[in-house]
Amino acid sequence: MNSGLTLISVRGTTRIVGVMGYPVKHSASPAMHNAAFATLGMDWAYVPFEVAPENISAALAGIRALNLAGVNVTVPLKELIPPFMDELTDRARLLGSVNTVIHREGRLIGDSTDGPGFIAALAYEGLILKPGDKVVVLGAGGSSRAVVRALLEAGSNIVIANRNEERAEALAAELAPGTSGKIAVVSLTESVLRNALTDAVLLVNTTSVGMHPKPEEMPPVPVDALHVGLFVSDLIYNPYETRLLFLARSRGCRFQNGIEMLVRQGAIAFERWTDVKPPADVMRNAVQSYLQGRSAD
Ligand SMILES: NC(=O)c1ccc[n+]([C@@H]2O[C@H](COP(=O)([O-])OP(=O)(O)OC[C@H]3O[C@@H](n4cnc5c(N)ncnc54)[C@H](OP(=O)(O)O)[C@@H]3O)[C@@H](O)[C@H]2O)c1
């Protein structure tokens, strides 16, 4: 293996899965899934499909016509896919977003594995949320919706801070009803976050602030609000350690970057397609080698 690349044999019997997005050429998912298939000796292969938004319908028809086992879906197609599915899981319907399509006997089933992937990633670091735990979420975009929904299912007491407060209010009004969790919306400012973080057990950055190519930036989190009882999760995985995570580490917080969520959402999709338990350690190593190789590009 070199830079996350795995040698696989494709035969007449090989089952095909892949990722649809626009662009997809930087996706870590082919390296992650092909490493898993190779390790388990499975006759499967995972390939990238660059699909422009105007070609979605034809691309999805191609899943049936070519008898693919399924696909992952990434930016900017996740929110465009639901109307084309024969069936949506409850989570995908509620979020209005699909990141995994499963092809079963001509029917396309749309699911969203980001939220369960996020919770599984926290559990991997030993963080199991209890109902009523306070969680501060920065951001109200697509990944925030998946994360907030999963936190609501865990019964969390959520505070969302977003630059565009109306967007956060809309997210809360849509996702909170019918769950045991609670959501308050606050402004994304240092003084408000200092207050909100005092009794929080988890801070999640779902904004793109601090992502490559601007790793020097960070959301307006006051450094002195990063207390040792706080777990800091940043969904960003490029750079490997954001400025927020650097400061969290220096303040003695437990912390996690976005790699484990990427691995866990992929592992859930893998199991949905194959009915085989995924090798998470292999997938994590493959993502890490791929990202290290890519940063040397
Ligand atoms: N680890 C994983 O598996 C995983 C999965 C999905 C996403 N992610 C990462 O999560 C991040 C967000 O992705 P997304 O799909 O949720 O994006 P998105 O839907 O475009 O949402 C972007 C969020 O960032 C906020 N934002 C952007 N620029 C900002 C700025 N200068 N100041 C303050 N807030 C700003 C936006 O606020 P406004 O609403 O005010 O514009 C919005 O809340 C990306 O870094 C992505 O790589 C990781």
What's the DSSP call for residue 225? G
User: With the C-alpha atoms ordered 267, 60, 69, 272, is the resulting torsion angle positive or negative?
Assistant: positive
- Supply the residue whose CA is at minimum distance from atom 47 of ligand 1: 236
User: Residue 269 in contact with residue 70, Cβ under 8 Å?
Assistant: yes
Count the Cβ atoms, other than its own, within 10 Å of residue 26: 12
- Supply the residue whose CA is at minimum distance from atom 26 of ligand 1: 207
Residues written for the chain: 297
Q: Which residues are catalytically annotated? A: 78
225-258 burial, b if ≥16 CB within 10 A, otherwise e? bbeeebbbbbbbbbbebbbbbebbeebebbbbbb
From 27, 143, 214, the mutation candidate for ligand 1 (largest count of ligand atoms within 8 A of CB) is: 143
195-248 tens-digit pLDDT: 999 999 999 999 999 999 999 999 999 999 999 999 999 999 999 999 999 999
From 79, 138, 204, 207, the mutation candidate for ligand 1 (largest count of ligand atoms within 8 A of CB) is: 207
Tell the CATH topology of 15-112+260-295. Rossmann fold (3.40.50)
Could you tell me whether strands 87-88 and 44-50 are parallel, antiparallel, or unpaired per DSSP bridges? Answer: unpaired
- Supply the residue whose CA is at minimum distance from atom 2 of ligand 1: 262
Run of H or E residues at 39: helix 29-40
181-209 tens-digit pLDDT: 999 999 999 999 999 999 999 999 999 99
Q: Taking the complete model, does pTM exceed 0.85, yes or no?
A: yes
Atom of ligand 1 nearest to the CA of 140: 43
Structure confidence at residue 140 (pLDDT) = 98
Residues whose beta carbon lies within 6 Å of some atom of ligand 1: 114, 139-144, 162-164, 167, 206-209, 211, 235-237, 258, 261-262, 265
C-alpha–C-alpha distance, residues 144 and 206, integer Å: 6
Tell the CATH topology of 116-257. Rossmann fold (3.40.50)
CA–centroid distance, 140 to ligand 1, in Å, is 8
User: Residue 77 in contact with residue 53, Cβ under 8 Å?
Assistant: yes
Atom of ligand 1 nearest to the CA of 188: 33
Structure confidence at residue 295 (pLDDT) = 65
Domains 15-112+260-295 and 116-257 share a fold: yes
What letter represents residue 144's amino acid?
S
Q: Does residue 1 register a pLDDT over 90?
A: no
125-164 tens-digit pLDDT: 999 999 999 999 999 999 999 999 999 999 999 999 999 9
Domains in the chain: boundaries: 15-112+260-295, 116-257
